[in-house]
Chains A and B, each alone.
Chain A
Amino acid sequence: MFSLNEIKKSALIALWFMFLTFPIMVIRVNTIYKTIEWRWERLFMVGVGTFVLSFVWRYAIKRKEEGIKKADMGEDAQQTIAQRIMENRNIYYPSLAALAIFVVIFPFVFSMYQTNIMTTALIYVVVGLGLNIVVGLAGLLDLGYVAFYLVGAYTYALLNLHFGLGFWTVLPIGALFAGIFGFILGFPVLRLRGDYLAIVTLGFGEIIRLVMENWNWFSFGPSGIANIPRPGLFGLKLSLHQNIIYIYFIMIGLAIFTIFVVRRLQDSRLGRAWMALREDEVACQAMGIDKRRTKLSAFGLGAMWAGLGGVMFAAKTTFINPASFTIWESIIILCVVVLGGMGSILGVICGAMILILLPEYLRAFSEYRMLLFGAILVIMMVFKPEGMISNVRRTYKFEKNKQP
């Protein structure tokens, strides 16, 4: 692997990177003394760094290709760790129990801050699983998903402000409202697919946000709505700390509920119809599936979870304004689904955990945070485009041919 050719290639790459990064890495203009600093040692570092990394990169690509070749030749593809755990009952149940214990003691062991970001991650689990229905199962690329999240959050904020409705009452209402919005969005985009659909949903997401920003008497515009009450517990007065723990457990409950429902849906008649729609729209319809109903149900049911997450978000932060619901948010949720593994529940959970928790823990590297985050995304997509945990279809066992 260290042939002359390879070295030449790497040297070229290193040179190219040195050239590209020259202006930002080497030159520094000191605006106070009006001098220019030339930091030549950095150029050397970039050169050596890219030279070594290009070898690593090529080696990784080669390994990946060999893996694909092996799978093509009919050798049993290696099972992923997750799959192995799922299949072996002796490991599966104990690890599930360990996870449950960890989840329960988590808020008592770790600080309030940790509990808080874990709650945020759990909101993304719920919302991500919702988007997973639309993108992962039904194959409808939705870039305006955050609109439904917004609908949920504003439903709670406004209903509470005007009618004094509590968290538990609004939770289902918010989900329902968001579901209806999803349904409504579904109608005009019934005929669209792929890029066109993505653009229309992108526009829809922005429209909703802009309406909220400008419709002052209804939504209080950019100043948002403050003092949204946290969830109540039978009228008990909770301290801030207790409340955070309480919200954490509500979120755990919601996440489990979501996982349960989405799993059932996935394995149902409707879930299969969604997947057929994703695979081939024409064939799907020719096999007797009502395309309209299937698409609308995917949009509606997907949006419901965003609504649920939105209500939760409003209750958790106690303040919302349209700035929390930008396109960036949609992209993050989409990343959760794609990075985690489209169509795979476990994948989406892992995706949410990593994408939300990682930036928080990377605060130690502060200014390199986003750079690292981006690098991880790129590396994932190159080496594992199907996501961290890919969707594995259910298998069935049959007895051999019993002739009647």
Chain B
Amino acid sequence: MEPILQVKELTKDFGGLRALDSIDLEVHAGQIAALIGPNGAGKTTFFNCITGIYKPTKGEMLIAPQGKKKKRLNGLKPNHVTESGLARTFQNIRLFQNMTVLENVMIGRHCRMHAGIPGAIIKNPATKREEKQAVDDSYRILEKIGLEQYVNEYAKNLPYGAQRRLEIARAMATEPFILLLDEPAAGMNARETKELDDLIIRIRDQEKISILLIEHDMKLVMSLSDMIYVVDYGKKIAQGTPAEIKNNPDVIKAYLGEDADA
């Protein structure tokens, strides 16, 4: 079967620094893939390239959502990438702090709505219907993520774990076929991580959204992922199932450093 996200030889230079060096990666429908590697390995750069925030120096990025035409992501603006079904969260939480939780999610609905300026001013029935639909849809997403008790709360007043989950809710509101999670468990305690684990599985199974995640929490990665890609210094050093990765000598070396006595 064809992968729904296919990245070929993705390379990104910052001046003389090669942050990504021809990385290949594939995500298949219904899969949870993980991208791991030490700090500064280029994982977030990889996300930024796919989502159009950075322009890759070289390489090809293709998406093939099920039942839709294949599409190249190269050169698309971030908003167009999101429109074509790739949604992301951020490593350092980037919520719209002074908007309510519901409004945050409604922003996610933005690209699936059509009302323009005249519609906003005269409030014709179509706009009203669309607006109501957006509110209802957003609320339903909040229910799924388990944030409905915070609906009218300002995003900045939420506890940390809830903010992380709100980022996921907001991304899901854009109706993606693949969700890119950038360190979703960063700063979470054990209980919150467990909840996140369940949530990610639920998103895949119930919403039929594939997931690509960057994560440092090895327990989470090993228990969740179907496929793991390991990068170090911008290069892919390994790929495989959790079991394969666990015993891969290159990976161990990258994480623990080389043994001087060996």
Residues of A within 8 A of B (CB): 261, 264-265, 267-273, 275-276, 279-280, 282-291, 297, 301, 393-396, 398, 401
Q: Tally B residues with Cβ within 8 Å of A.
A: 46
How far, in angstroms, from A264 to B120 measured CA to CA in the complex?
A: 6
Most B CB atoms within 10 A — which of A267, A290, A394?
A: A290
Partner of A286 from the list B88, B106, B116, B119 (CB cut-off 8 Å) is B88
- Knowing A268-B115, A275-B96, A276-B99, the reply to whether A287 touches B110 (Cβ < 8 A) is yes
How far, in angstroms, from A272 to B108 measured CA to CA in the complex?
A: 10
Contact A289 B99 (CB under 8 A): no
Contact B79 A269 (CB under 8 A): no
- Knowing A268-B120, A301-B117, A393-B154, the reply to whether A275 touches B99 (Cβ < 8 A) is yes
Partner of B79 from the list A264, A275, A290, A395 (CB cut-off 8 Å) is A290
B51 at the interface (CB under 8 A from A): yes
How far, in angstroms, from A282 to B87 measured CA to CA in the complex?
A: 13
Contact B99 A279 (CB under 8 A): yes
| Beta-carbon nearest neighbor of A300 in chain B | B117
Partner of A264 from the list B82, B96, B100, B121 (CB cut-off 8 Å) is B121
B46 at the interface (CB under 8 A from A): no
Contact B96 A288 (CB under 8 A): no
- Knowing A271-B120, A282-B94, the reply to whether A288 touches B108 (Cβ < 8 A) is yes
How far, in angstroms, from A401 to B82 measured CA to CA in the complex?
A: 29
B123 at the interface (CB under 8 A from A): yes
How far, in angstroms, from A38 to B97 measured CA to CA in the complex?
A: 57
| Beta-carbon nearest neighbor of A286 in chain B | B78
How far, in angstroms, from A265 to B115 measured CA to CA in the complex?
A: 11
B233 at the interface (CB under 8 A from A): no
Give chain A nearest CB distance to B157 CB in angstroms.
9
Contact B121 A261 (CB under 8 A): yes
How far, in angstroms, from A401 to B145 measured CA to CA in the complex?
A: 13
How far, in angstroms, from A41 to B113 measured CA to CA in the complex?
A: 71
Q: Chain A contacts of B103 at CB under 8 A?
A: 272, 275, 393
B95 at the interface (CB under 8 A from A): yes
| Beta-carbon nearest neighbor of B113 in chain A | A269
Interface members, chain B 93-134 (any A CB < 8 Å): 94-100, 102-103, 106-108, 110-111, 113, 115-117, 119-121, 123, 127, 130-131, 134
| Beta-carbon nearest neighbor of A393 in chain B | B100
Q: Chain B contacts of A276 at CB under 8 A?
A: 96, 99, 107, 110
28 contacts between A and B (CB under 8 A): A261-B121, A264-B123, A265-B117, A268-B120, A269-B130, A270-B116, A272-B103, A272-B107, A275-B96, A276-B99, A279-B95, A279-B98, A280-B96, A280-B97, A282-B53, A285-B53, A286-B79, A287-B79, A287-B111, A288-B79, A288-B82, A288-B83, A288-B174, A289-B110, A301-B117, A393-B98, A393-B99, A396-B139
B203 at the interface (CB under 8 A from A): no
B151 at the interface (CB under 8 A from A): yes
Contact A283 B90 (CB under 8 A): yes
- Knowing A272-B103, A396-B102, the reply to whether A285 touches B131 (Cβ < 8 A) is no
Partner of B96 from the list A261, A265, A283, A398 (CB cut-off 8 Å) is A283
Contact B174 A287 (CB under 8 A): yes
B248 at the interface (CB under 8 A from A): no
B148 at the interface (CB under 8 A from A): yes
- Knowing A286-B51, A288-B174, the reply to whether A273 touches B110 (Cβ < 8 A) is yes
How far, in angstroms, from A267 to B117 measured CA to CA in the complex?
A: 11
Contact B102 A270 (CB under 8 A): no
Contact B135 A396 (CB under 8 A): yes
Interface members, chain B 129-147 (any A CB < 8 Å): 130-131, 134-135, 139, 143
Give chain A nearest CB distance to B124 CB in angstroms.
12
In the A-B complex, the 8 residue pairs with the smallest Cβ-Cβ separation, listed nearest first, are A288-B111, A268-B120, A288-B82, A279-B96, A283-B94, A395-B152, A285-B78, A276-B107
Q: Chain B contacts of A272 at CB under 8 A?
A: 99, 103, 106-107, 110
Q: Chain B contacts of A275 at CB under 8 A?
A: 96, 98-99, 103
How far, in angstroms, from A288 to B86 measured CA to CA in the complex?
A: 10
Contact A286 B53 (CB under 8 A): yes
